[in-house]
Amino acid sequence: MKILILCTGNSCRSQMAHGFLQSFDAALDVHSAGTKASGKLNPKAVEVMKDAGIDISHHTSDSVDKYLNDEWDYVITVCGGAKETCPMFSGKVKHQLHIGFDDPSDAEGTPEFIQSEFIRVRDQIKEAFYNFYLQIKKENEQ
């Protein structure tokens, strides 16, 4: 099953979702991309994922253009910006979903607060994508 996770910068939320989905099932073909890819991962995202036992430091921040000609079982946007600017995959996507999350990169305040925002969003992503994974697994067993 091929899954593409889209965000605006492809540096944080989409990378976390990518890491979690692959950790749930190594047989899934998971990729992530950005509508305006930043070209790098957010170090805080890498850190909080490592704390959760998942290494995403080897991921790359890619433009969605790289994947437009591919066929996908699911294309999932995780931020409002990507949802609004998501390019049309014109029939090459079986299911297009939006599972949105706050951007912890926007958090302001003490280092402790910023860290807590990354952890909060990471945990929300883990729960939402685990539920998504269970749902698609159940549907494929029918």
Does residue 10 come out as left (phi exceeding 0), alpha (psi in the -120 to 50 range) or beta? left
Active site residue 12: no
* Predicted confidence (pLDDT) at residue 33 exceeds the cutoff of 70: yes
Helix (H) or strand (E) holding 22: helix 13-24
Whether the pLDDT of residue 141 is over 90: the answer is: no
Q: Which of 45, 49, 56, 79 is catalytic?
A: 79
End-to-end alpha-carbon separation of the chain, Å? 15
- Of the listed 1, 52, 68, 86, which one is catalytic? 86
Structure tokens at 76: 């999932």
Q: Which CATH number fits domain 2-141: 1.10.10.60, 3.90.1150.10, 3.40.50.2300, 3.20.20.10?
A: 3.40.50.2300
Of 7, 37, 99, 136, the catalytic one is 7
Task: Read off the pLDDT of residues 74-107 as tens digits, 9 standing for 90 and up.
Answer: 999 998 665 566 655 656 889 999 999 999 999 9
The whole-number pLDDT of residue 69 equals 86
